[in-house]
Chains A and B, each alone.
Chain A
């Protein structure tokens, strides 16, 4: 079994895992970080999005060994302690979540989107969210949350 070591949410972790372990399994089962979810098996829903070395990736399509040596951030590490990150706070403000299942992946994807494009238009927001499926909200309020988080006027 390969030995892997990485930083997860600022903490150094290491483990022996079967080579076919997915990053999401490692996070959820070995590290008990269950905030990252699995919504599909074809890499299409985005419920599993985490950041690896600062980039949003789908952890259901990444092997744990691929993240060896990397710095991983999950939803649990986005804001310290009891705090909410600006994006998390905007989601709450805009009622951009209902069942909450897609939410961690959505939030991680939005943080990445705004890093690359701090003032996206509504069209860019909708395009940027298109890798994440939400069955509850109809996206309207997620768009609104992104606009709030990016300090823009709300059009949704």
Chain B
């Protein structure tokens, strides 16, 4: 293994700047002569906008300009990146999402007026002087009744508030399987609304250079090229060569910073209007009502099982909340990222899923860590545990009975996906061992002796990552390709700069990608620099989400490296006076097969830039290559998690006494970073299971709009973890990697709820399973027993 190459737990190079407080996040960027923007947002969920009086505000001290929707008539709406086609070939309803609310406000937090001033305080003070006449309308909040509620719909384009009614799978085969089932398990699940809450609030700085007619946007994004494309082409009509988008250090994303948001388009547009740079930074309470939320599904599911305990079919009906407008990838989350994952790790023949996506007067909902896959996993892993309980089978054993076997890969699921490889038994066994599953009954008895209720929960998740083959997603409605690009520039003295379209906002790409390059070129990792996040520096990029950076972005880097190595062979052949076919590249040197003639990589690099003795007739000077990599399939990380809880029935307090994760991410570049990704994901999933939830009242007020009411997991809420990996390398990408960013958040939620249900010996409990809910469930049992 090359030192600091593939497989080493190399310490992160990013850490130094973050630890010293000299990272550069968007709000740290200041421009000469900068102004500040404040958005006046709707305080009500649904209203017609009557008279807007700006006259007093306009003359307030420090005000530079004030804009409303009337000023933005020539500007496009925020576009949606995915078209879903529902039943009977009906395209989804796609109402316009204006930059500033036009005519109507549709959720609390909808921006109505933008005030630009010399200071943030001046902007806020002036905003206080704006008067807006809101003619309130009844709010549509509950998606289950949105279709029939009557009254004014969220959008006139969707009079029944339905965005689409989508179905997938083989309904006839599923019905037939249910007809012959020996046992049917049914469950009703709420996958509650969450707020991503990256610790860095969104921010944007817009700059316009009149001399060159160039726009620059600094923004908190996971994918600056996607923002350039969407904002340039669909909103502001700025061609790519006049628009630079920079996503500098970004303080976490978890999906919420994928999407194109109105505020970043506005500051880009307005910077030209006012002729000065404009900065906007969200306050946390603003983030709560303007960052896209996650999850928010309500599902009824049924599982058909034969007399031998074999799963036969799954049927699901889901309501998915789109919120008030379609966010960038909102429609794909409850459909193709959800329905296709319902086979889980199990070999069973029939699945049918129906999803009704609804508009409501709430913040738009879009991808949040896992995006559709956590929702699917929650359904399958909850219903499987419930079925095992009903059939009086061990929950691990019931899963194993139904696993896709190692010899069945590649495995065609009934919901379109082809799993290339996996070994579910291996990760199950690793988890059972690490969690001492066999010792659980004794621990349960010990807890019971203390008056405590102990439970164990298993979850065997699968996800589809490495998003995604372009032609496939194109057929499914994506309005873009999902390849990735990379340029590898070998500098004359042999150091290497890599420009990647992936974006790191905590994942540590600067370290891991350098490890890949070091291993492939046989050079020290310290000689490699990873550059990302700036459309002026990077050839192109689709960015980071869906655990795609290494599987897709890393593959593009490998593609470019292979071209570099091949070009080097031509140069080496010339220098070593051998035929190209006889040149081998290994450990940082080109050799002639069977001889000791050799040239180091550094010598070849120098020759490429000082081509005195050089095959100049056939090979161009220089050593720089670009590669675009389009994945051949999704990757399928999978694993088993086991959670053990102890509940105090007197208080309803649940303590996670043990949590083990056994994941198969394929090959691993940096085990330390992979473990860190798993830890973080686990806590997000545990947060959903036990603490977090965005709650709207029936007027459409977000009553969990700050950290006072939205319960973020803190250090004393969660345990330490035991994490292991098992490995079946991905078969279709050059590094054999699958991706590890989302697994923890996908697999942990059902594991925790399964454990709590097991402890309480109940069928279901609503999330978050707060002490109150747990206490009530525990108490209901005792009360019933007493009757």
A-to-B contact residues, CB < 8 Å: 18, 20, 28, 32-42, 44-45, 47, 74-76, 79, 84, 88, 91-93, 95, 97-104, 107, 122-123, 125-127, 129-130, 132-143, 155-156
Contact = CB atoms under 8 A, between A and B. Distances in A.
Contacts of B249: 99-100
Contacts of A100: 14-15, 17-19, 23, 249, 251, 506
Residue with the highest number of chain B CB atoms closer than 10 Å, among A44, A107, A122: A44
Q: Is the interface of B mostly helix, strand, loop or mixed?
A: loop
B284 interface: yes
Contacts of A18: 121
A36 B139 CA distance: 40
9 contacts: A75-B20, A88-B19, A95-B11, A101-B25, A122-B720, A135-B198, A135-B712, A136-B506, A138-B684
Given A34-B28, A130-B714, A138-B679, A98 B508 contact: yes
Contacts of A156: 720
Nearest to A40: B284
Contacts of A137: 676, 679-680
A129 B19 contact: no
B22 to A, nearest CB: 6
B13 to A, nearest CB: 10
Please indicate which of the listed interface residues B14, B18, B508 has the most CB atoms of chain A within 10 Å of its own CB: B18
A140 B199 contact: no
A39 B21 contact: no
Contacts of A133: 199, 707, 712, 714
A23 to B, nearest CB: 15
Contacts of B681: 138
Main secondary structure of the interface of A (DSSP, over half): loop
B5 interface: no
Nearest to A139: B715
B683 interface: yes
A45 to B, nearest CB: 6
Which of A33, A39, A104, A138 is the most central at the interface, judged by chain B CB atoms within 10 Å of its CB?
A138
Interface residues of B, number: 58
A83 to B, nearest CB: 9
Nearest to B511: A95
Q: Which 8 A-B pairs have the closest CB atoms?
A: A35-B21, A100-B18, A101-B251, A99-B506, A75-B21, A98-B506, A138-B679, A138-B683
A114 B673 CA distance: 26
A88 B20 contact: yes
A37 B715 CA distance: 19
Given A99-B198, A143-B720, A92 B11 contact: yes
A103 B18 CA distance: 7
A103 B505 CA distance: 13
Interface string B660-679: 00000000000011011101
B145 interface: no
A127 B716 contact: yes
B715 A126 contact: yes
Contacts of B772: none
A20 B15 CA distance: 34
A99 B682 contact: no
Contacts of B720: 122, 140, 143, 155-156
A42 B707 contact: yes
Contacts of A125: 715
A92 B672 CA distance: 11
Residue from the set A107, A123, A134, A156 with the largest chain B CB neighbour count within 10 Å: A134
Nearest to A98: B506
Contact of A76 (B21, B251, B673, B714): B21
Contacts of A123: 716
Given A97-B19, A99-B506, A139-B718, 15 more contacts: A42-B707, A44-B707, A45-B707, A47-B199, A76-B20, A76-B22, A92-B15, A95-B12, A98-B252, A98-B506, A100-B14, A136-B676, A138-B679, A138-B682, A142-B715
